[in-house]
Amino acid sequence: MKMEIKKLILCAAVSLILLPAEEVLGAEQTASVMIPVVQQFETRNKLPDKRNQTFRYELIREEQDAPMPDESDGDRYVFDMKGSEKNEVGPITYTRTGIWHYTLKQSVQKEEKGYDYDKQTYEISVYVENLTDGGLGVQMIVVNREGNKVNEIRFKNGYTGEKTGNVARTGDMSDIGLWIILLAVSGVVAGKAVHKKRPA
């Protein structure tokens, strides 16, 4: 009986000694990135009420094991931006060293009349490496479709509406009314001029 009690005490002591070590070994070193995206929306002439100012984008991973933001659908992460605004995609968290590649572009299902859509495509490379302190360091490099390194991801969309102002339009009833008034006034003026020329 005493031998069994000693074994239980010894097992408990070993468990207490090993528990902190297991916690240390189980801790993961992580690094994360946020991808800043800027959308610029410009209007030319008048923008009709309730016109769409929201555009959709997608981040696509090139490697199957590349980490992705939460709420991603497989290899894609889709998000919307409205008007002129700045957004951040992420965080994307990395737990080991390596190089991962992504593509970020605008997703246009159907082009609408009057809109200009930015067709630029950005290639994103994320480099994760070990630091001297034992942690992970991360570096992100972005290049555009032309292969040039850029400091920001920017999409420029726009809408061109109808011109406003006093421009005569075919079939506009207000313009027809104006012409009728002008003809009437000119007729009265012409009649007075003829009346003055008659001899006494």
Q: Is residue 143, in this structure, part of any structural domain at all?
A: yes
Residue 21 has pLDDT above 70, yes or no: no
**The token pair that represents 172 in the structure block:** 């506009």
Assigned domain for 185 exists: no
User: Is omega for the bond preceding 91 within 30 degrees of 0, making it cis?
Assistant: yes
Mean pLDDT of 23-33: 68
Nearest-angstrom CA–CA distance, 177 and 163: 22
Q: Is 200 contained in some domain?
A: no
- Residue located via tokens 């009728």: 180
pLDDT at position 163 is 78
Please give the residue range of the domain that contains residue 45: 29-160
The confidence score (pLDDT) of residue 2 equals 47
In tens, the pLDDT along 155-181 reads 999 999 887 654 444 444 445 555 455
Residue 155 covered by a domain:
yes
DSSP at 126: E
User: Using one digit for the tens of pLDDT, what is the confidence trace for 65-113?
Assistant: 999 999 999 999 999 999 999 999 999 999 999 999 999 999 999 999 9
Residues 6+ apart with CB under 8 A from 62: 100, 101, 102, 103
Phi, psi of 130 (to 5 degrees): -75, 140
- The per-residue pLDDT for 49 is 72
Parallel/antiparallel/unpaired status of strands 121-130 and 98-107:
antiparallel
Residue 144 sits in a domain of what CATH number?
2.60.40.3050
Is residue 179 assigned to a domain? Answer: no
Q: Quote the DSSP letter at residue 112.
A: P
Domain assignment present for 68: yes
Instruction: Decide if 127 is inside a domain.
Output: yes
Q: What is the pTM of this model?
A: 0.67
Copy the structure tokens of residue 72.
């991603």
Count of structural domains within the chain = 1
- Residue 187 within a domain: no
